[in-house]
Structure 1
């Protein structure tokens, strides 16, 4: 037999080809998992944004002196949009924790709060920041992820 005239693959060439294919498939599987995690995170953020906007709309139709619009913690007005712990949140949704529809049924993984600052930015106005939290609880007592939407309500 003349080795120059032999046709086909050797076992080593076949194993190297399978190894390269396996590495490519593992990389593809890893990218798929990353895409699924990204989609889940985006969905949670979208739901949280809708829940926050829904609460803003509910607060806007309340009378200006409604208890839900009281500034019960004036000390937090400088950090209204950035609460440092659970104690710096003034009002909480009585239905907490809530689901994607803002109800207490189903998978309840969101928590909704809001802070109020009277006469900010001008006299006769209230700055309202609505927060929706979700995820694992951190050392400061707040869940890891959040959406914060500010608005101003006037008389």
Structure 2
């Protein structure tokens, strides 16, 4: 004789449990994609910032009578070291440019603005980083 109180789960209970489990897994997968995207954005920003710092340091380390401070062309391209650029993770391309404004913010000083464009992210094609420094002339 079969009792009416059998132990175990019904098919409906199993389907509901599997559905809840699947929704949880999909949520975790979505969070993983968001984390990968944020990591990729941060890496691209870090590389662009490091390049901009290197260019700014290169310009600021030159003597005050260097020809670079006599030319005040806006967005002048800066030739990046090809050997150093070959070691960038992901093979992204970066371009650097600079502006030099003489007698700014005070007489006898130069404002140097460096801009680096490039990199790749999942949400944005290129990343732009700008740094500003000052040189006493």
Could you list the runs of 4 or more consecutive aligned residues of structure 1 that deviate by over 3 angstroms after TM superposition? none
Change in Cα spacing, 1:144 to 1:111, as seen in structure 2 (3 Å) is same
Residue 118 of structure 1: aligned partner: 102
Q: CA deviation at 1:72?
A: 1.8
Cα distance change on mapping 1:48 and 1:115 into 2, 3 Å: same
Tell me which residue corresponds to 1:44: 44
TM-score (norm 1): 0.73
Q: 2:65 and 2:73 mapped to 1: Cα distance?
A: 12
In structure 2, the residue matched to 1:139 is none
CA displacement at 1:135 relative to structure 2: 4.5
* Alignment gaps of 5+ in structure 2: none
Q: Taking structure 1 as reference, are residues 104 and 94 closer, same or farther at Cα in structure 2, changes over 3 Å only?
A: farther
- CA separation of 1:28/1:105 partners in 2, compared to 1, >3 Å: closer, same or farther? closer
Distance 2:58 2:79 in 1: 14
**TM-score (ref. length: structure 2):** 0.82
| Partners of 2:105 and 2:77 in 1: CA distance | 23
What is the DSSP-based 3-state SS (H/G/I as helix, E as strand, rest coil) of the residue aligned with 1:12?
Answer: helix
Higher RCO (CA-CA < 8 Å; seq separation 6+): 2
Give the CA RMSD over aligned residues: 2.2
- The residue number in structure 2 matching 1:81 is none
Counterpart residue number, 1:7: 7
2:131 paired residue number: 149
Q: Which residue, out of 92, 103, 109, partners 2:77?
A: 92
Q: What is the aligned length?
A: 129
Is the Cα contact below 8 Å between 1:95 and 1:104 reproduced in 2?
no
